[in-house]
Amino acid sequence: MIDALMENILSMVYIIIGGVLISWSVHFVPVGGAPAAMAQATGIGTGTVQLAAGAGLTGLVSAGFMMNVTDNLPLILASGAVGAMIMISVTMIVGTWVYVYGVGCVPSSAKVKTDPITKYRQDLYVSQGTEGHGLPTVSFVSGVIGGCLGGIGGALVYYALIEVGLAVGLTAGAASTVTGNELVGIAAMFAIGIFFVNAVIPSYNIGGTIEGFHDPKWKKWPKAVVSSFVATILCAVVAVIAISQLGVI
C-alpha cells in the first residue's frame, strides 16, 4: 500500500491540486438557489452542487475525449476548461433569456451599486423586496471563470487517475486483467466522487446564494480551500490505493 502511494506521488499531487481548484471554482459560480428561481435573487436558479458538478463534469468529459487523441497535459486541461466554460455560459445565457423575456426583469445585483465591469448602475433596477435578479455582466464573467477553474480541476483529477491505472497496467503486464474501458469507467467514478466532495464543502461558505467574485461571501474561499485540501488528500489516498490494486493477480 505504501509502495503504491510513493510510486504515484505525482498523481496524488495532481489530484489534490484539482480538488482545490474545484473548491475555489465554486465560489465564482453565481448561485441563486430557490430565490433566483422566483427572480428574487441574482444568479442561476438552482443549487451550488448542481451547477458546479454540471460545469465540472462537462469539463471532465471534454478532457476524456481529448485523452483519446493526445496525452499532452496542457491540451487536456485546456479541453476540460473550454468544455466547462461553454456549459456554464450556455446555462447562464438561457437563464438570462428566461428572466428578461419570460419574467420581465432587468438583470441586476443588489450587492453592488454599479457593475464592476460595465459600470452600469444596479440599484435603480432592483425590484423592491428582492436581492437582485437575473445575471448581470459581472456575474456572467465570474461564472465563466468558475467554469474554467472547475474544468481544469476535474480534468486534472481524471488525468491523474488514468495515469495511475496505466502505470498499474505497465507494471503488472500480462498479469493485469483490467481493460482500457474498465479503467476509464473506474477513473471516471472516482473523479466524479472527488468532484462532488469538493463541490459540497464550499456550500457551507456560500450559505445558499452567491453572486460571484464581487459578493462579500467570496472572500471566505480560503476556508473552503483548506478544508478541500485536507479532504482531497484522503480521497487521493483511497483512489490511488484502489486503482493501483486493480487487475493484479
How do the domains of the chain map onto residue ranges?
1-247
Average pLDDT over residues 219-235: 90
Q: What pLDDT, on the 0 to 100 scale, is given for residue 249? A: 39
Quote the percentage of the chain above a pLDDT of 90. Answer: 14
How far, in Å, CA of 91 to CA of 6, rounded?
41
Average pLDDT over residues 106-113: 85
Backbone angles phi and psi of 158, in degrees to 5 = -65, -45
CA angle 39, 42, 48 (to 5 degrees): 105
Q: Which positions ≥6 away from 42 have C-beta within 8 Å? A: 30, 32, 36, 107, 108, 109, 110, 111, 131, 132, 133, 134, 135, 136, 139, 209, 211
How far, in Å, CA of 219 to CA of 192, rounded?
26
Residue 25 pLDDT > 80, yes or no?
A: yes
Backbone angles phi and psi of 167, in degrees to 5 = -65, -35
Q: What pLDDT, on the 0 to 100 scale, is given for residue 106? A: 86
How far, in Å, CA of 129 to CA of 118, rounded?
25
Beta strand spans in the chain (E): 41-42, 108-109, 131-134
Average pLDDT over residues 48-63: 78
Average pLDDT over residues 140-158: 90
Residue tagged 438557489 (cell numbers): 33
Highest mean pLDDT among 3-12, 46-55, 226-235: 226-235
How far, in Å, CA of 81 to CA of 75, rounded?
10
Residue 233 pLDDT > 70, yes or no?
A: yes
First to last CA, the chain: 15
Q: What is the per-residue pLDDT across 85-95, written as a single tens digit (0 to 9) for each?
A: 998 899 889 98
Identify whether the C-beta of residue 137 lies closer than 8 Å to the C-beta of residue 143.
Answer: no
Q: What is the per-residue pLDDT across 180-219, written as a single tens digit (0 to 9) for each?
A: 667 788 888 888 888 888 888 888 877 778 888 888 888 8
Q: What pLDDT, on the 0 to 100 scale, is given for residue 4? A: 65
pTM summary value: 0.87
Identify whether the C-beta of residue 176 lies closer than 8 Å to the C-beta of residue 169.
Answer: yes
DSSP string, 215-243: SGGGGGHHHHHHHHHHHHHHHHHHHHHHH
How far, in Å, CA of 216 to CA of 223, rounded?
14
Round the average pLDDT of the chain to a whole number and report it. 83
